[in-house]
Chains A and B, each alone.
Chain A
Amino acid sequence: MSDTWTGAIDCDMHPRLPSPRALSQFMDAHWRETVEVRGIDYWESIAYPANAPLTVRPDWRESGADADPVAAARETLDRFGFAHAICNCLFPVQAFRDENLAAAFARATNDWLAATWLDQDPRFKGSVVLPLQSPEKAVEEIERRARDRRFVQVLTLAMGEHPLGKSMYWPVWAAAERHGFAIGIHAGSSYHHALTGSGWPTYYLEDYAAQALGFHTQLGSLICEGVFVKYPKLKAVLIESGVTWLPPYLWRLGKFWRGVRNEVPWIDREPYEFVRDNVRLTLQPFDGPPAAEHIGRVLDQLRCDDMLLFSTDFPHWQFDGDDMLPPGIPAGLRRKILIDNPLATYPRLGRHP
C-alpha cells in the first residue's frame, strides 16, 4: 500500500530543535556571548510540552526520529515515498520581547535548519522563521533566504502581537510575494496576550483547542484588511489549524461582511472567494465527525478541491499507524491533496524539484 503515497508532499513536519546554546553556534560572537553571559540556555514555549502525549507519537518518541534527519527520512520520506517534506521549526522566537534577540534566534534557527536537515537530504524543504516583532527585520530575514531555493515559505504563528493583516506587516507580505514564498501560519502563540479574549485557560488541552481560535482571527484579519487585494498572488497556509472550524467561521464572516461591508469598502467580493483563491490548510489534525460517512459532507462545506494540503505533522501525535488522511476521500481529490495542491501553493517547490 505504501506506493499510494508516492510523490506526496508533506506540508508540515517538525524537526526537534537544538538548545539555545547549540543554536548560538550559528550566531556571531556578540550574540554567542549574549547567550552565554545572560544564561539563555532554556527558552521553551508551553505550546508543546516535551512529554505531553500530543507532542510526540509514542513510536517516534521511542526512535527519536524527530531529532535526526536520517532517521526522520527513513520513517517518513523513504517509507512512503514522499517527494518533499516541509520542515517547520517551532523554536519560540516569537516569545522574545526583544526584537534584536528575536532576529538573532530566527536567523540562527534558519541557518541551523539549512546546515543540518536541508543539507542532509534534498527532499527536506524549509520555512523561514520570522522575527515578526520587527517587520523590518522580518523583511531582512526574507531577503537573506530568498536565494536559497530550499526555503519555500515564511513562518509565523496563529497568535502573535497583532493580527497579521494589519498594514504594519504589509512590507513582510510584499517581500514574501516578491520571492514566491507562501505565508505559513502555524498553531502556536507568542503568549504576548492572554491565550483567549477571556483570559488564560487552565489546561494544556484547552490551550491546544484554542489554537483554532487564533486562526479565526488571522483569517478575518488577512481578508478584512485587504491583504489579498493588495497581494493577489499571495498564498496563506493555515498549518495545524484543525480544518473543520473554517466553514462555520466563513458563514459568519460572509454574513457580517454583507451587513457592514461599508466599513471595509476595499473588500469587493465575498470573503469566501479570497479563501478559495489565497488560503490553504494542512490536513493534520483533521477535526472531523466521528462517523466516517459524514466526512465527505464536511469536506463539501469547503466548496473547493484546491484548498487542502497533505501533512503528517510529524512527530506530533495526530494519527496512528499510516492513517494519514481522513477516510472516504475519493481518488481524484486524494491526488490533489497529496501532490497537486502543494505544488500549486509553493511555487518555489516546482522550480527546484
Chain B
Amino acid sequence: MMLDAPLAPELETDAGRGPTADAATRLKIIDGDVHPAPRSLADVKAYLPARWREHLDEYGSRRKLGMGYEPYPKSAPRACRRDAWPEDGGNPGSDLDLIRAQYLDAYGIEYGILGPLGVTGQSELNGEFSAALATATNDWQREHFTRPEPRLRSAIVVPSEHAEAAVAEIEARADDPAYAQVFMLTRTAEPLGNRRYWPIYAAAERHGLPVGMHVFGSGGHAYTGAGWPSYYVEEGAGHSTSCQTAVTSLVIEGVFERFPRLKVVMIEGGFAWLAPLAWRLDKLFERMRSEVPHLKKKPSEYIRQHIWVTTQPMEEPDDRRHLFDTMEWIGWDRLLFASDYPHWDFDDPFRAFPAGLPKERHRQILTGNGRAVYRLP
C-alpha cells in the first residue's frame, strides 16, 4: 500500500541543530531517565543504619532474581557506554564531573531526572531491608547528586511491595524540592494496578508527584507468561511487555478513577506499543464492560489523560513516517525525551529522532512535555 504525507502536520525541521549549537540558543532539555550509580555499594551503605549495614555485610542483597546480578548478562559491563567509566575506577554514573562534561554540559541539559537501579531495595526479598535500602538510596541521591548539581533531580525510590514503608518514604521526602518523581519498577509481585499499590498512588497524587515506572525489577515470576527467554536480546525487546501489563492494570483496575490527578510515566520501554495497546483495550472494554463497571471512560481516554512515555530506546522503523504516525496516535504531548545515560543504548537528544521530525514537535518532546509532568524547581 502507498502512504501519502504523514499524519503529523509538516512543520519546519530541526536540521543542523546539535550539541555544538550556541549555548544561548540551545533548547533546555529535560531528560526523563538518567542513571546515577554509587562508586561502589559502600557509597549507599554509608546511609544505612548500623543494623542494616551489618545485615548487608552478612547476608547481602537477596532479590527475587535468585542472584546478585541480572539473569541476562548485558552487552557491556554494567550495560554501560564504554566511554562512561570514570578514571577513578568507580561505576559509570558515579562521577559528577564526568557526568557534567560528557552529558549535562555537552548537550545543554536543563534537568536530568534520576532513576537509580541496582541494589536500591526494589525486588528485595526482605521487606524491612527493602525499605531501609530505598531510604538510603534516596539520601545518597540527594547528597551525592542533587545537592552539588541541581540539574540532576532525585527520585523517591519506594519499596514497592511494602506499601506502608513506601508511603512513609514519600511522606518523608515530599516537601523536599530535590525530588521530582516517585520511582518504581515494572516487574512487580502483582500487576501495578493492584490494590496493594494504591496507597503509593494516593501519596503521590496528594503531593503532586508523578510516578515513574521503569522497566526491570522482578516480582518473583518468570519474566514472561510463556516462561524464560534465553537471550538478552529477547529480554531487552520484551521490556515493552511489562510496560503494557502495567498500563493495562492501572487502567482496568480503575486506578485513575480513584486517583484522578495521578500522573504515570513509563520509562525505558520505548513508546510505540502504546497506540495498539489502547486500541486493543478499547475493543475489549466495549465487549466486556460488564466486568469493569467501575470504569467510566474508555481505556484510551484514561491513557491519554494519565500516561506519559519516555522515548528511549527510540523505535527505528525503516520508514520514518510509521514513527510519526505512531507519535501522532499516542499524542505529541505524551512523549518525554530520555537518554538513559550512561547506558549502552543511550539516545542522543539531537540524533536519536528521525530526520524530518517537525521542529516544534522535537522541542515539545525535549523540553515542554517534561516541564508539565515532573516536579521541578
Q: Bound pair: A and B?
A: yes
Interface residues of A (CB under 8 A from B): 52-54, 158-166, 189, 192-206, 208-210, 212-214, 216-218, 220-221, 224-225, 242, 244-245, 247-249, 251-257, 259-264, 285, 287-290, 294, 296-297, 299-301, 303, 305, 317, 330, 333
29 A–B contacts from the bound complex (CB under 8 Å): A162-B226, A193-B221, A193-B222, A194-B221, A194-B222, A197-B221, A197-B224, A198-B192, A198-B219, A202-B194, A205-B285, A209-B280, A209-B284, A210-B248, A220-B233, A221-B230, A244-B280, A252-B236, A252-B313, A253-B233, A257-B233, A259-B75, A260-B236, A263-B75, A287-B279, A290-B279, A294-B325, A297-B322, A297-B325
- Whether B290 sits at the interface, judged by CB under 8 Å, is yes
B65 at interface by CB-CB < 8 Å: no
- Determine whether B69 belongs to the interface, using a CB cutoff of 8 Å to chain A: no
- Find out whether the CB atom of B226 lies under 8 angstroms from the CB atom of A193: yes
B290 smallest CB distance to A (angstroms) = 7
Of the candidates A52, A159, A205, which one forms a contact with B225 in the assembled complex, judged by CB atoms under 8 Å apart?
A: A159
Chain B interface category by residue count: 35 or more
Scoring B191, B219, B233, B244 by chain A CB atoms within 10 A of each residue's CB, the highest score goes to B233
B238 to chain A, nearest CB (A): 6
Question: Which residues of chain B are near A300, meaning CB under 8 Å?
Answer: 1-3, 319, 322
A259→B231 contact, CB < 8 A: no
Q: Is the Cβ of A205 less than 8 Å from the Cβ of B291?
A: yes
B residues 256-300 touching A (CB-CB < 8 Å): 270, 272-273, 275-277, 279-285, 287-288, 290-292
Tell me the chain B residues, 299-324 only, with Cβ under 8 Å from chain A.
313-319, 322-323
Not counting A196-B221, A264-B231, a sample of 16 additional A-B residue pairs whose C-beta atoms are within 8 angstroms of each other reads A52-B291, A53-B288, A159-B227, A162-B228, A189-B226, A196-B224, A197-B242, A208-B284, A209-B281, A217-B226, A217-B229, A248-B276, A251-B272, A251-B323, A297-B7, A300-B322
Q: Which of B12-20, B145-153, B181-189, B362-370 lies at the interface with chain A?
A: B181-189
Which residues of B are found within 8 Å of A256, using beta-carbon distances? 233, 236-237, 313
Check A333–B252 contact: CB distance below 8 A: no
Tell me if B246 is interfacial: C-beta within 8 Å of chain A: yes
| In the A-B complex, the 5 residue pairs with the closest CB atoms | A248-B272, A251-B315, A244-B276, A287-B280, A194-B221
CB contacts (< 8 Å) of A197 on chain B: these are 187, 219, 221-225, 241-242, 245
Counting chain B CB atoms within 10 Å of each CB, which of A198, A225, A259, A300 scores highest? A198
Q: Which residues of the other chain, B, contact A254 by a CB distance below 8 angstroms?
A: 316
Closest A residue to B227 by CB, please name it.
A162
**Cβ contact within 8 Å between B225 and A248:** no
Say yes or no: A288-B287 contact (C-beta < 8 A), given A213-B245, A300-B322. Answer: no
Partner of B230, one of A163, A192, A212, A242: A163
Chain B residues lying within 8 Å of A164, measured Cβ to Cβ, are 226
Q: How far is the CB of B282 from chain A (nearest CB, A)?
A: 7
Contacting A at CB under 8 A, from B125-147, are none
Given A163-B229, A205-B292, the answer on whether A216 and B284 have CB atoms closer than 8 Å is no
Residues of A within 8 A of B322 (CB): 247, 297, 300-301
Report the minimal beta-carbon distance from A225 to chain B, rounded to whole angstroms: 6
Are the C-beta atoms of B227 and A198 separated by less than 8 Å?
no
Chain B residue numbers with a CB within 8 Å of A206 are 191, 248-249, 252
Q: Are A213 and B237 closer than 8 Å at their CB atoms?
A: no
B108 CB to closest chain A CB (Å) equals 26
Chain B hits for A218, CB < 8 A: 226
With A245-B273, A289-B329 as known contacts, state yes or no: A161 contacts B227, CB within 8 Å. Answer: yes
Residue B253 lies at the interface, judged by CB distance under 8 Å to chain A: yes
Interface residue B110 (Cβ < 8 Å from any Cβ of A)? no
Report B's interface with A, CB cutoff 8 A: 1-3, 7, 75, 186-194, 219, 221-234, 236-242, 244-246, 248-249, 252-253, 270, 272-273, 275-277, 279-285, 287-288, 290-292, 313-319, 322-323, 325-326, 329, 344-345
How far does the Cβ of A118 sit from chain B's closest Cβ, in whole Å? 29
User: Looking across the interface, which residue of chain B has its beta carbon closest to that of A332?
Assistant: B1
Q: Hey, which chain A residues are within 8 Å of B223, CB to CB?
A: 197
Contacts of A262 in B (CB 8 A): 75
**Docked-complex contact B230 and A166, CB < 8 angstroms:** yes
A203 and B240 alpha carbons, distance in the complex (Å): 21
Bound together, the chains give a CA A162 to CA B227 distance in angstroms of: 5
User: Is the pair B276, A160 in contact by a Cβ cutoff of 8 Å?
Assistant: no
Residues of B within 8 A of A289 (CB): 275, 279, 329
Contact partner of B241 (CB less than 8 A), chosen from A193, A217, A251, A333, is A217
Instruction: Give bound CA distance, A294 to B287, whole Å.
Output: 22
- Contact for A203 among B233, B291, B344, CB less than 8 A: B291
Q: Is there contact, CB below 8 Å, between A224 and B233?
A: yes
Report chain B residues within 8 Å CB of A288: 279
User: Within the complex, what minimum Cβ distance (angstroms) separates B225 from chain A?
Assistant: 4
Q: Assess whether B279 is in contact with A263, with CB atoms less than 8 Å apart.
A: no
User: Closest CB of chain B to A78's CB: distance in Å?
Assistant: 27
Are the C-beta atoms of B288 and A290 separated by less than 8 Å?
no
The reply to whether B285 and A248 form a contact with Cβ atoms under 8 Å apart is no
Q: Shortest distance in angstroms between A240's beta carbon and chain B's nearest beta carbon?
A: 12
Q: Does the CB pair B230–A214 fall under 8 Å?
A: no
Given A200-B190, A209-B281, decide whether A221 and B234 contact each other with a Cβ distance below 8 A: yes
A160 touches B189 (CB 8 A): no
A-chain residues with CB within 8 Å of residue B323 when the two chains form the complex: 251
Contact B3 A285 (CB under 8 A): no
Assembled-state Cα–Cα distance A54/B245 (Å)? 20
With a cutoff of 8 Å between Cβ atoms, the chain B residues found around residue A317 in the complex are: 287
Rounded to whole angstroms, the CA-CA distance of A166 and B241 in the bound complex is 20
* Residue from A189, A214, A251, A264 within 8 A of B317 (CB atoms): A251
CA–CA, A296 to B283, complex, Å? 19
| Closest Cβ–Cβ distance, residue B246 to chain A (whole Å) | 7
Q: Which residues of A contact B186 (CB under 8 A)?
A: 198
